[in-house]
Amino acid sequence: MQTDWDYIVVGSGSAGAAVASRLSEDGKTQVLLLEAGRKDTSIIYKVPILGPMIGLKDKNSDWGFKTEADPSRQGRIDHWPRGKVLGGSSSINGTIYVRGNRGDYDHWRQLGNVGWSYDDMVPVFKRLERNEDGASDVYGKNGAVVVSETRGPHPLTKVFVEAVSEVTGCPPNPDYNGEVQVGASVAHVTQKNGWRYSTSRAYLAPARHRANLKIVTHAEVARVVFEGKVAVGVEARIDGELRVLRARREVLLSAGSINSPKLLMLSGIGDPAKLGQFGIPVVHANPWVGRNLQEHPAFQVKALVNVKTSNMESNVAGYIKNAAWFLLRGGGPASHVLPGISFVKSRPELEYPDLEIQFVAFGYDTTEEGLKLLDRPAITLQPNVNRSRSRGRLELRSGRWQDPPVIHPNMLGDPYDLEVLVAGGKISRQILRSRAFAPYLVGEYQPDASVQTDGQWADYVRQWTTPGHHPCGTCKMGVDDQAVVDPRLRVVGVDRLRVIDSAIIPQITSGNINAISIAIGEKGAQMVREDAR
């Protein structure tokens, strides 16, 4: 393998696959894409349900990060999955597609990030989207990523949509990725005919034949190599050997919100005191690398119903039936994790929804061994905070690139997030007690009727809140003293190095962030090309 390239892209996930594909489109620019994980040829990465059910916690697919005990949630320790495979987390996630709303991106612009307003971002989303089944007129038609409506959702999904409308007074909204986000809908997903459409399938599969693009799997990057303050390449372990690969133009980190800041710190960009503890020479002092860590805190409200749900089919007969349904019609339980989605205001005077409430057509208990499916028909509503305000941090565990970082989530550190989740729990209970659900509801399961007061709800939320699997913000984009990258995604204080992934998000947006991560990849690649010219 050659050792000199125009661009080296680290990470093939939701953003990195887009970056590598777009930069290599001209057939001349030499692009090297390094992925720490394996190829995505397994059926696990093709059938949507298998990614979350099998890919998560699988060392061949998931980095398997663990957090420190979180004092804001009674010392809870969480598994934070991140994809370690071609396509990254887009190969193992729930495939939900959410752009976010105008307020999200206009806020980014108000923070000084020129070029990142809502009106700037809509064309980027349309450029990446390919709407093949008429899911919504708001989507683009010729992009790389297929967006469709969930196929064969559980029948109670439409009851959920009706119930949300009843409780909130807002009509159903299948165009929730358009100008108005409020309302409920069958979820839109990155799937084609029910099959997962990861960024590997969307961007890398069509680009594999290009002579100017080299994709290397099982390539673990140890650090960025600098000459002075200029990034000139990376040191990576490939085929068991550490080697230096050089970039003539730029090094582009798309390793994700956990590994991108880790690589910056291992390379000498971070808090000098912390770097000094591990003997890492300082290239540029910036104590904000790894800080501004954000998540969507979420918890579950569960109920028993009188209609068969997916947890009742966790047996040989159920697997055969659902596999046949999927193979013949591309739908059913194998094609989705959560078939219903809604965006809700906890208070009517709000300009934008502060809650996302998801519908899941199965019930389970959370145990020390993991999820245990109930032996009775059940459903789950999952409220989570859209633009959460709590901030955690990420630090090096050692100076060894092989060691995972230390993650402090602080997920309910800001009282606002707890307040909004409590409101989400109450609204979820109203949805379950609606006229729409009345013919199907057998009883509330968790929390039970003993949880009534605000204090009881707050205690329950602190005990059961989990991450939404949307970490971001650890290499914050901005123009202030806390910025790690500028609005062109260039790492502050050094040259020829950018971060292009969800780590740059200054304020977490409303809803699942995979679509936003892809858009960051698209926009980042465009910026690289513009600056090269």
Residues 68 and 115 in one domain: yes
Give a yes or no: residue 111 inside a domain: yes
Q: What is the CATH number of the domain that holds 23?
A: 3.50.50.60
Residues 177 and 317 in one domain: yes
Which residues are part of the catalytic machinery? 470
Give a yes or no: residue 161 inside a domain: yes
Residues 440 and 531 in one domain: no
CB 405 within 8 Å of CB 396: yes
Residues 337 and 424 in one domain: yes
Residues 404 and 344 in one domain: no
pLDDT of residue 411: 98
What is the spatial distance between Cα 458 and Cα 421, in angstroms, rounded to a whole number?
8
Q: What is the CATH number of the domain that holds 302?
A: 3.30.410.40
CA-wise closest residue to 466 among 386, 411, 390: 411
Residues 76 and 143 in one domain: yes
pLDDT of residue 320: 82
Give a yes or no: residue 449 inside a domain: yes
- Domain count for the chain: 2
Q: Are β-strands 188-189 and 191-192 bridged in parallel, bridged antiparallel, or unpaired?
A: unpaired
Neighbours of 452 (CB within 10 A): 11
Give a yes or no: residue 434 inside a domain: yes
3-state secondary structure 137-171: CCCCCCCCEEEEECCCCCCHHHHHHHHHHHHHCCC
pLDDT of residue 47: 94
For residue 68, the 8-state DSSP code is P
pLDDT of residue 316: 73
Sequential pLDDT tens for the chain (533 residues):
789 999 999 999 999 999 999 999 999 999 999 999 999 999 999 999 999 989 988 999 999 999 999 999 999 999 999 999 999 999 999 999 999 999 999 999 999 999 999 999 999 999 999 998 888 999 999 999 999 999 999 999 999 999 999 999 999 999 999 999 999 999 999 999 999 999 999 999 999 999 999 999 999 999 999 999 999 999 999 999 999 999 999 999 999 999 999 999 999 999 999 999 999 999 999 999 999 999 999 999 999 999 999 888 877 787 788 888 888 888 888 888 899 999 999 999 999 999 999 999 999 887 766 778 889 999 999 999 999 999 999 999 999 999 999 999 999 999 999 999 999 999 999 999 999 999 999 999 999 999 999 999 999 999 999 999 999 999 999 999 999 999 999 999 999 999 999 999 999 999 999 999 999 999 999 999 999 98
Residues 129 and 236 in one domain: yes
Domain termination site, one of 437, 464, 491? 464
Residues 173 and 126 in one domain: no
Residues 261 and 403 in one domain: yes
Residues 171 and 96 in one domain: no
Give a yes or no: residue 202 inside a domain: yes
Residues 191 and 319 in one domain: no
> Where is 110: in which H helix or E strand?
helix 102-110
Residues 228 and 204 in one domain: yes
Domain termination site, one of 447, 464, 481? 464
Domain termination site, one of 404, 432, 464? 464
Q: Where are the beta strands (DSSP E) in 279-327?
A: 284-285, 297-298, 301-305
Give the N- to C-terminal CA distance of the chain in Å, as an integer: 28
Give a yes or no: residue 17 inside a domain: yes
* Residue 512: domain span: 1-147+187-294+395-412+471-533
CA-wise closest residue to 528 among 139, 29, 130, 155: 29
Neighbours of 532 (CB within 10 A): 12
Give a yes or no: residue 494 inside a domain: yes
Give a yes or no: residue 390 inside a domain: no
pLDDT of residue 132: 86
